[in-house]
């Protein structure tokens, strides 16, 4: 089938490379940076540029843009999209996108399914994309009620072919609530941690724990600002709870209360073991 990809950055570029490498489909690609599209065509990563003349030929259109840009693109091109096509986004928040594009798709007759590939790097752009980005990754799908099962099965099969090993079904609300903790809070914590003045002196005194905790501090502030504000309610809840937990450690240290410190640490260890189950020793 013909697959259109809108946005050839880290995720969109990796989608193009993976689909071209591991499936027999034809890939049409578009990016605001025409040099990226030219490079992708010359390297046979995509078959041709996606444009208004051929978008109707696509059976699947993957929108790999920031949320508002994704909404704007689909709005601007809704009348050109084939009624048998599936359109899916790759945004890190779902409510703001699905609330607009689900009814729009219904009005125009095509299928929209919200999606979030749970993969990425702390770097951004086409230059860092690769065909193995999604190996053993999870993909969250948020199909509207009454979505035709053959459309969902098509996506499951296609994305299984490029490496996803867990296709998670969800709703936009559930997705945004959980992602506030598993992704967005982690980026805030990492970004805030490296602002401690001692971070500038870490070289020679740091190992795996520092490296793991600071990896996502190097982020795309434009994208993450948009994601944070579009998930403000859920993210604030997680952030306030995290701050409350940190204050408990601070108060225990100020009081020199060894029993309380030990208890807090034990609670955290046991929570991690309970989350990881039989695999926690690994």
CB 183 within 8 A of CB 42: no
What would the two tokens of residue 137 be? 């990754």
Secondary structure class of 169 (helix, strand, coil) = strand
Query: 29: which strand partners?
Result: 5, 49
Nearest C-alpha neighbor of 64 from the set 127, 13, 121: 13
Q: Is the dihedral of CA 61, 67, 71, 77 positive or negative?
A: negative
CB 121 within 8 A of CB 10: yes
Could you tell me the CATH superfamily of domain 175-279?
Answer: 6-phosphogluconate dehydrogenase C-terminal like domain (1.10.3660.10)
Chunked into runs of 10 residues, the chain (282 residues) has average pLDDT values of 97 97 97 96 97 98 97 98 98 98 98 94 85 96 96 97 96 98 97 96 94 93 96 98 98 98 98 83 44
Q: H or E stretch including 5? A: strand 2-6
CB 216 within 8 A of CB 224: no
26 φ, ψ to 5°?
A: -90, 135
What would the two tokens of residue 100 be? 């607009």
* pLDDT at residue 280, rounded to an integer: 46
* pLDDT at residue 124, rounded to an integer: 79
Please compute, for residue 130, the number of CA atoms within 13 A of its CA located in the half-sphere on the CB side: 8
Secondary structure class of 166 (helix, strand, coil) = strand
Query: 86: which strand partners?
Result: 60, 111
CB 75 within 8 A of CB 51: no
* pLDDT at residue 18, rounded to an integer: 97
* pLDDT at residue 279, rounded to an integer: 61
Q: H or E stretch including 48? A: strand 48-49
Q: What Å distances lie between residue 192 and 22, 107, 213, 251, CA to CA?
A: 39, 44, 11, 20
Residues forming CATH 1.10.3660.10 domain(s) in the chain: 175-279
| CATH number of the domain located at residue range(s) 2-170 in this protein | 3.40.50.720
pTM of this prediction exceeds 0.95: no
């Amino acid at each position: 089938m013909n697959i259109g990809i809108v946005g050839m950055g880290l995720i969109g570029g990796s989608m193009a490379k993976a689909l071209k490498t591991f499936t027999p489909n034809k890939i049409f690609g578009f990016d605001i940076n025409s040099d990226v599209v030219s490079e992708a065509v010359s390297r046979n990563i995509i078959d041709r540029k996606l444009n208004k003349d051929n978008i109707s030929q696509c059976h699947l259109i993957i929108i790999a843009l920031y949320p508002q840009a994704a909404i704007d693109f689909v709005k601007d091109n809704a009348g050109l999209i084939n009624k048998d096509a599936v359109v899916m986004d790759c945004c890190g928040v779902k409510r703001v996108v699905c609330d607009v594009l689900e009814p729009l798709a219904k009005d125009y007759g095509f299928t929209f399914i919200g999606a979030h590939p749970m993969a990425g790097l702390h770097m951004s752009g086409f230059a860092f994309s690769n065909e193995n980005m999604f190996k053993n990754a999870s993909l969250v799908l948020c199909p509207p009620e009454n979505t035709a099962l053959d459309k969902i099965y098509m996506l499951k099969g296609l994305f299984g072919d490029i490496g996803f090993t867990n296709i998670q079904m969800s709703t936009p609300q559930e997705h945004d609530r959980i992602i506030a903790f598993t992704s967005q809070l982690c980026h805030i914590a990492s970004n805030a941690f490296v602002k401690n003045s001692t971070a500038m002196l870490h070289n020679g005194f740091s190992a795996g724990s520092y490296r793991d905790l600071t990896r996502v501090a190097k982020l795309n502030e434009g994208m993450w600002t948009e994601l944070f504000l579009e998930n403000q309610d859920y993210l604030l809840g997680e952030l306030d709870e995290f701050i409350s937990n940190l204050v408990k450690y601070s108060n225990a240290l100020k009081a020199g209360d060894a029993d309380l410190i030990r208890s807090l640490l034990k609670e955290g260890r046991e929570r991690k073991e309970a989350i990881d189950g039989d695999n926690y020793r690994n």
